[in-house]
Structure 1
Amino acid sequence: MQSCVEDVDVLSFAFTTTTGSESGTRAASAKPHAPSTNPCRDAIRGLQSSTANALQLGDLRFLRRLGSGDIGSVYLAEIKCAEGCVLAAKVMDKQELSSRNKESRARVEREILDLLDHPFLPTLYATLDSPRWSCLLTEFCPGGDLHLLRQRQPEKRFDEAAVR
């Protein structure tokens, strides 16, 4: 997948905040593991209200690429108007998803993050969509890939005390 960082400043996305379901019937407070006040979520909501629901990818500063996977690349990003507010931005090329029959996988990932509330899953702040790109804006979880960390453990698994 090609990196999109060079094109970031010229892209505009449709913006949606997440509320826990497609219909928006569940309030954000219905997720007890997500703090009620969060600087990144608050900054995104502030941009939403000040720009008539039009968050643009240009509102983000991409700091570095964190990694890539089967359906996209993840970048460490900062909201420009909220210094120090970092998040993870998973960017997926819609044309590549379509050509590789991976659209449903991307949709399911988005739905799972939107629906579930668990301390082991990153909080989904918002999604951005354009004709070419789809982007998930999530909580940044420092420390790297959990799968790789597990692979480095004795017997390739965490002991019971570590997971409590």
Structure 2
Amino acid sequence: MWAATVARLTESADMEEEEEKEPRVPCDSDYERLSVLGIGSFGRVVLAKRRDTGDLFALKLIAYSKLTLPKHLERTQTERDVLSSMRHENIVKLYCAYRTSTHFALVSEYCPGGELFHHLCRRRVFKAAAVAFYAAELSLALDCAHARGIVYRDVKPENCLLDSRGHLKLVDFGLAKVGVADLYLGAHSVCGTLEYMAPDVLAKKPSGYGLSVDWWGLGIWTYELLTGLPPWYGPDRHKLFKNIRHAPLRIPPYVSLAAASLLANLLRRHPRERLVGLQNLKRHSFFANIDFDTVSTHDNPPIRPKQGLANNFDAKFAALDVDDDDPPPTRKPATRTAAIVVDRASLQNWDYARPLRS
């Protein structure tokens, strides 16, 4: 009898271990779509409820029809691969990935606090203490990515969400590049949002650029939160391109000396003169009142998100029908290269379910 009991317990443990290693990949019918949270270049993000548990998730739907170039498909796979490998309090958690007849789907944790950009638009500027808090959390997320050889390349307030407590979560790794371990070398593509691009990205040097561009991005991000706009913001893209590379950095007089010093050091055009790395950042006087070891678990973040579904997201998205087709792209795909055919059979390594308890 004892032997039979042990055998049953062993079998049960083996089954639990197997289930933990290979959880079931869900399908679209497992989720009820509630409202649209945002629209991007390649699809949309919707608030979805798991039918069997009632749990809420952010469902990112990437339309096959929008992936017209090989690099689009490659970056879609990169985002799925990077997020599935990440485990950090300040990086959004990916739970699973599946495909429908028309879309690739990423199921991530729902951050009801909405985009940091949404809160910036409402407040116009943040106080220095709030900026230091969120800059510390963003720096921890970037440091986690860099430790794994990943350069993020798209730091901006729109890509920073707040969870229910008001803590920052970095999202959207669609422009990330893996295999970059050097601060100054390893990447060559000119990509990102122009207002936040580092001069070493725009320079198109044969040697390329490295992880240091994310610290430049942190500088632009910090400047925007403190002043309301990026430092060289303007409608003329050619002029903006030129100003990023050559125009002087003008810091408003109401910005504190500590903040001005941080901006001046992060926004040095020569990457080898730039303030880079989490350890160097921690020592700067701007973060004198921040404990980097406990900031991500702090009980009182600067922003307390409104309660309720999608209350911290742009109302124009909430008004959209979740079953509507995605809006047409704002720009036509390049005609020099024939558009690739993307369908349900593409990206064979796409399907994913996060191991339990991880």
TM-score bracket, shorter-length normalisation: 0.5 to 0.7
Alignment-mate amino acid for residue 38 of structure 2: G
Q: TM-score, normalised by structure 2?
A: 0.29
1:34-61 Cα offsets, whole Å, 9 max, x none, are xxxxxxxxxxx5xx3xxxx5x2201110
1:105 corresponds to which of 58, 75, 87: 75
Alignment-mate amino acid for residue 35 of structure 2: R
1:150–1:156 contact (8 Å) kept in structure 2: no
Alignment-mate amino acid for residue 67 of structure 1: G
Q: 1:104 to 1:153 in 2, by over 3 A?
A: farther
Q: 1:153 to 1:77 in 2, by over 3 A?
A: same
| TM-superposed deviation, 1:63 | 0.5
**1:44-55 equivalent positions in 2, closer than 5 A:** 45=23, 48=24, 53=25, 55=26
- Paired positions, count: 114
CA distance in 1, matches of 2:60, 2:110: 11
CA distance in 1, matches of 2:82, 2:118: 22
**1:2-151 equivalent positions in 2, closer than 5 A:** 45=23, 48=24, 53=25, 55-83=26-54, 85-98=55-68, 101-149=71-119
Are 1:161 and 2:147 counterparts?
no
Alignment-mate amino acid for residue 73 of structure 2: E
Provide structure 2 residue ranges, at least 5 long, that are not aligned to the other structure.
Answer: 1-19, 137-294, 296-358
Q: 1:101 to 1:80 in 2, by over 3 A?
A: same
Alignment-mate amino acid for residue 72 of structure 2: K
| TM-superposed deviation, 1:126 | 0.3
Q: Alignment partner of 2:53: what SS?
A: coil
1:6-36 Cα offsets, whole Å, 9 max, x none, are xxxxxxxxxxxxxxxxxxxxx88xxxxxxxx
Alignment-mate amino acid for residue 93 of structure 1: A
1:77–1:87 contact (8 Å) kept in structure 2: yes
1:71–1:106 contact (8 Å) kept in structure 2: no
CA distance in 2, matches of 1:106, 1:120: 21
Provide structure 1 residue ranges, at least 5 long, that are not aligned to the other structure.
Answer: 1-26, 29-44
Residue in structure 2 matched with residue 10 of structure 1 by the alignment: none
Q: 1:161 to 1:126 in 2, by over 3 A?
A: closer
State the structure with more CA Rg.
2
Q: Which has the higher strand share?
A: 1
